[in-house]
Structure 1
Amino acid sequence: MSIEALNLIGGTWQPARSGKTATSTDPSDGSVLGRFPDSGDADARAAIAAAREAFERPDWAQNPRLRQQVLLRWADRLEARTEALAELLTRENGKVLAQSRGEMAGAISEIRYYAGLARHIPGHAMEVEPGVFSTLLKEPAGVAGLIIPWNAPIVLLIRSLAPALAAGCTTVVKPAPQTALVSWDVLRELDAATGLPKGVLNLLSETGHAVAQRLVESPEVEVISFTGSNGTGQRIMAAAAPTMKKLSLELGGKSSCLVFEDADVAKVAPALAAAATIISGQQCTAARRVLVHASRYDEMKQALAQALGALRVGPGLAQGVQIGPLIDAAARDHVEARIAATLDAADEVIVRGGRPQDAPKQGCYLLPTLVAHRDTSAFFVQEEIFGPLLVLEKFEDEREAVTRANHSEFGLSASVWTNDGARGWRVARALRNGTVWLNDHNKLFAEAETGGYRRSGIGRLHGFDALIDFVEIKHIYQNAGVV
């Protein structure tokens, strides 16, 4: 396999203006998958100009029926290539094939959901006094810059791009360099969808930050949608401040899973092990902390250790593998170092991970690690360590469980495990998180908004409210008088 990706600017596929390219590799074994343009500021300026020109024409921004048809055609084209795209996703990202297939299915569902909404973004009108009318319209905000991460590059691309297009925005997409090839392949299918006007979609890949910086700073870009780390989100907010653009930021998480005394530990432990190691622990909603009632703590410690130890680590395309490699060597080395520091500081080391002995030597693999700790101020309880590390904690009652879980600078997601329905709702209401699952974890889909409290971000993606980040509300006033 050798893929040669290109940029898309104003409807034309082209190399970077500098002629520079970069290599994409398979994190399971280090093999080269292909090359992509290493773009810069000149490319960004051209793409923004193309998106601006396309937005100023009425054929997209004011044509919801066309927007719906293009989105539906895109979904159909992706569905026809689901298996090939899932395999490429696994090769470039490392996640196991079952997760890649699930990501493709979720992404296609999301496109069709926003295609449905494209024709129903209503405003409202009212008569505020006799003969005086106020009409409020929801209009597309303008050019949207979408900065996409590598951990779920298809579904996280589409959960920003689909509502942006449905609302009538034009776009410049900047994917992560680690997953530039699969991003290019997915967007080729959108560009090929009948009816898409030139300039509505623009794609630029890069290894540096010049494109992203231009998108954030440009007064010609009205919206930035970014998913990634809290530190990068802060820098985006600061750089975007002079232009006062709209921001949609989904940032870090440190999900707590609260397990009460009436839960079935034998069933919950494997579910938590899977939730902690999804995408090798490289998901912002992955289970990070397991808080267990004292009466079931020892049982959970043993069951969770067994469940983590039973997970098979290896190449994502291999039969029976449940945990693939981390995204690249730099990420693996960073996570490995943070886990090493955790092992030195934790009250108890229950499962010591490390690098698997039987995995390919050039692969970026880590086995899951489980520690127990009491102090919620510890760095490994507070910090988002983006890999397969899980912290076990003990609580005595509901109040302590909620207090411990809420001791976090993040507030993206959590889960509550109990057979007491009233308790589940009571605790979920008390948790300061944008999403709380009851007796489940990592359930994300198009219809339900997701986003975080506190440093986990601003705005919401998925659901109807995702459109808010891509529209402006215009008030039109008229005193028509009375007869």
Structure 2
Amino acid sequence: MPADLLAQIRIGRRIVDTAATHPSINPATGETLGAIADAGVEKAEMAIEAARHCFDHSLWAQSPRLRQDILLAWASGLEAITEEAARWLTLTNGKPLAAARGEIAASVSEIRYYAGLARHNPGHAMEVAPGEVSVMLREPAGVAGIIVPWNAPAVLLIRSLAPAIAAGCTSVIKPAPQTAAFTDVCLRPLLELPQLPDGAISVLPEAGHAVSQALVTSPAVDVISFTGSNAVGQSIMAAAAPTMKKLSLELGGKSCCIVLEDADVAAIAPKLAAAATIISGQQCTAARRILVHESRFEETKAALAAALEATKIGDGLDAGTQMGPLISAAARDAVKTRIEEVFDTADEVVLRHSVPADGPAGSAFLTPSLVAHHDPKADFCQEEIFGPMLVIEPFSNEVEAVAKANDTVYGLSASVWTNRGDAAWRIARALRDGTVWINDHNKLFAEAETGGYRRSGLGRLHGFDALLDFCELKHVYQNVGVVGM
């Protein structure tokens, strides 16, 4: 690889040259890290054709032991380069190095989890009438297009690619341009395995959307797995409709944290602040709204403001950094402008953000904001603002808390904070969200399915059910008769 080319176009086993590139920028410094190869429609069609040929004309889909071996080898290879991968994750994404190391560890765990499931994806059989047998087989869906976001580019790649491999699909990956250099490092231990069939995995970095569009509209692609905004998810659904693809979509969220009157406010305020500032607020499950019993509202507001203000912001490579920059200066400026519009209409601005004066030119830092508001129908209580801003809202009883939390088009995640187990479970069951945490937030595991209700998406990722997004269920029937009848 040329010294300044950090990510190349890989179509199966081939590295494909291109003159088109785009820069990879460190959001903590504004510095250019190097160049990223820029694929287009022609390369996308080549990769889709290679994936289709591998699926249709090799034994990849029928070889669970091979796929398990490949997943296990990838996990070991990625684990061996944890420090290199984590550093590239921090350089391209901005998150603290400790968080990057944690994401690599979680990714390795997830690959090994799906390596186990590669050899255990069973169907079922039944005798529907005397001598009449119905067998249900779970078969790989075909070619998967995987469109990866930049905010957690290791886990959000692997929670799609690992089950796709386990199920027997071939895959074409479109990494996020901001973190494509990291994706190249992450995938290298997989793509260099000699036992990986040609065409099983291709990677197409790009600056724009031509590759994504080609994947979504191609009749040769059977599955699209996408994590991102609700607006883009809707566009993917519309563009994929003519070819009736299987869609796995994890989209936006507006996560509520419900704080009951018995909660230890001093203890939980730093946890709520951390839940809001994870990946600088750029995570779909990040805490967005804090609903607090009215008897503890003022106390919680003050404690939360103090915890947010105490968050140490800086370069993710610096020791002690708790929150890094946003993904780019342009994204930071857009988020800043939107939050300043919120300041004009919120009941109270509790904590006003700033751009640190000592940040390097071109960096993307923004300190957290907190507003207090009573009306859950306000646009900023409904809209996902992808940055470090929280809204704190009062409620008088459980019924009102649940009604406020459910008054949204989203349904991805929420949390309940209380020492009363009965209340926690009662509220968790009433919330219309795919994940509800009790006295915690943002806890995600390879073994536990994640996904949303309503406009937060379709399907589930992580866990055994993630295989469903990459499988078709086939019913095979035969009347075999009954001995002696």
Smaller-chain TM-score bracket: over 0.9
Query: CA deviation digits over 1:241-272, x for unaligned, max 9?
Result: 00001000000000000000111101110000
Task: Letter of the 1:220 partner, please give it.
Answer: A
Q: Secondary structure at the match of 2:59?
A: helix
Q: Distance in 2 between matches of 1:242 and 1:273?
A: 44
Structure 2 match to 1:157 = 157
Distance 1:160 1:210, change over 3 A: same
Query: CA deviation digits over 1:73-108, x for unaligned, max 9?
Result: 000000000011001100000111111011101111
TM-score if structure 1 supplies the norm length? Answer: 0.98
Q: Distance in 1 between matches of 2:125 and 2:462?
A: 27
Task: Letter of the 2:214 partner, please give it.
Answer: R
Q: Secondary structure at the match of 1:376?
A: coil
Q: Distance in 2 between matches of 1:99 and 1:57?
A: 41
Q: Secondary structure at the match of 2:377?
A: coil
Are the aligned partners of 1:230 and 1:455 in contact in 2 as well (CA < 8 Å)?
Answer: yes
Q: Secondary structure at the match of 2:196?
A: coil
Q: Distance in 1 between matches of 2:479 and 2:409?
A: 50
- Cα displacement (A) at 1:125: 1.3
Structure 1 match to 2:14 = 12
TM-score if structure 2 supplies the norm length? Answer: 0.98
Task: Letter of the 1:48 partner, please give it.
Answer: I
- In the alignment, is residue 103 of structure 1 matched against residue 114 of structure 2? no
Task: Letter of the 1:131 partner, please give it.
Answer: G
Are the aligned partners of 1:96 and 1:321 in contact in 2 as well (CA < 8 Å)?
Answer: yes
Are the aligned partners of 1:4 and 1:36 in contact in 2 as well (CA < 8 Å)?
Answer: yes
Structure 2 match to 1:312 = 312
Q: Distance in 2 between matches of 1:176 and 1:236?
A: 16
Q: Secondary structure at the match of 1:320?
A: coil
- In the alignment, is residue 184 of structure 1 matched against residue 184 of structure 2? yes
Are the aligned partners of 1:70 and 1:194 in contact in 2 as well (CA < 8 Å)?
Answer: no
Are the aligned partners of 2:259 and 2:416 in contact in 1 as well (CA < 8 Å)?
Answer: yes
Structure 2 match to 1:241 = 241
Are the aligned partners of 2:249 and 2:458 in contact in 1 as well (CA < 8 Å)?
Answer: yes
- Cα displacement (A) at 1:397: 0.6
Q: Distance in 2 between matches of 1:158 and 1:21?
A: 25
- In the alignment, is residue 174 of structure 1 matched against residue 170 of structure 2? no
Structure 1 match to 2:292 = 292
Query: CA deviation digits over 1:286-321, x for unaligned, max 9?
Result: 000001111111110111011011111111111111
Are the aligned partners of 1:228 and 1:250 in contact in 2 as well (CA < 8 Å)?
Answer: yes
Q: Distance in 1 between matches of 2:126 and 2:271?
A: 51
Query: Superposed, which structure 2 residues align to 1:352-367 within 5 Å?
Result: 352-367=352-367
Q: Secondary structure at the match of 2:154?
A: helix
Structure 1 stretch 381-390 or stretch 125-134: which is displaced more? Answer: 125-134
Query: CA deviation digits over 1:331-352, x for unaligned, max 9?
Result: 1111001101011111001100
Are the aligned partners of 2:145 and 2:223 in contact in 1 as well (CA < 8 Å)?
Answer: yes
Q: Distance in 2 between matches of 1:88 and 1:32?
A: 13
Structure 2 match to 1:252 = 252
Query: Superposed, which structure 2 residues align to 1:38-117 within 5 Å?
Result: 38-117=38-117
- Cα displacement (A) at 1:3: 4.3
Structure 1 match to 2:218 = 218
- Cα displacement (A) at 1:358: 2.4
Q: Secondary structure at the match of 1:106?
A: helix
Query: CA deviation digits over 1:172-219, x for unaligned, max 9?
Result: 000110111111111111112342111100000111111101100000
Structure 2 match to 1:273 = 273
- Unaligned 5+ runs, structure 2: none
Structure 1 match to 2:396 = 396
Q: Secondary structure at the match of 1:274?
A: helix
Q: Distance in 2 between matches of 1:163 and 1:414?
A: 26
Are the aligned partners of 1:3 and 1:33 in contact in 2 as well (CA < 8 Å)?
Answer: no
Structure 1 match to 2:124 = 124
Are the aligned partners of 2:6 and 2:184 in contact in 1 as well (CA < 8 Å)?
Answer: no
Q: Distance in 2 between matches of 1:4 and 1:303?
A: 44
Task: Letter of the 1:31 partner, please give it.
Answer: E
- Cα displacement (A) at 1:230: 0.3
Task: Letter of the 2:85 partner, please give it.
Answer: L
Q: Distance in 1 between matches of 2:446 and 2:57?
A: 29
Q: Distance in 2 between matches of 1:133 and 1:40?
A: 49
Task: Letter of the 1:385 partner, please give it.
Answer: I
Q: Distance in 2 between matches of 1:2 and 1:351?
A: 42
Task: Letter of the 1:14 partner, please give it.
Answer: V
Structure 2 match to 1:430 = 430
Q: Secondary structure at the match of 1:327?
A: coil
Q: Secondary structure at the match of 1:71?
A: helix
Q: Secondary structure at the match of 1:365?
A: coil
- Cα displacement (A) at 1:229: 0.4
Structure 1 match to 2:330 = 330
Q: Distance in 2 between matches of 1:182 and 1:213?
A: 23
Structure 1 stretch 1-10 or stretch 363-372: which is displaced more? Answer: 1-10
Task: Letter of the 1:50 partner, please give it.
Answer: A
Structure 2 match to 1:229 = 229
Are the aligned partners of 2:255 and 2:414 in contact in 1 as well (CA < 8 Å)?
Answer: yes
Q: Distance in 2 between matches of 1:360 and 1:310?
A: 21
Are the aligned partners of 2:450 and 2:460 in contact in 1 as well (CA < 8 Å)?
Answer: yes
Task: Letter of the 1:443 partner, please give it.
Answer: K
Q: Distance in 2 between matches of 1:409 and 1:267?
A: 31
Q: Distance in 1 between matches of 2:63 and 2:204?
A: 26
Q: Distance in 1 between matches of 2:5 and 2:322?
A: 27
Task: Letter of the 1:178 partner, please give it.
Answer: Q
Structure 1 match to 2:148 = 148
Are the aligned partners of 1:313 and 1:359 in contact in 2 as well (CA < 8 Å)?
Answer: no
Task: Letter of the 2:463 partner, please give it.
Answer: G
Q: Distance in 1 between matches of 2:435 and 2:348?
A: 30
Structure 1 match to 2:383 = 383
Task: Letter of the 1:445 partner, please give it.
Answer: F
Task: Letter of the 1:8 partner, please give it.
Answer: R
Pairs aligned (count): 481
Q: Distance in 2 between matches of 1:271 and 1:193?
A: 41
Q: Secondary structure at the match of 1:153?
A: coil
- Cα displacement (A) at 1:433: 0.3
- Cα displacement (A) at 1:361: 2.9
- In the alignment, is residue 413 of structure 1 matched against residue 435 of structure 2? no
Query: CA deviation digits over 1:41-74, x for unaligned, max 9?
Result: 0000000000001001342100000000000000
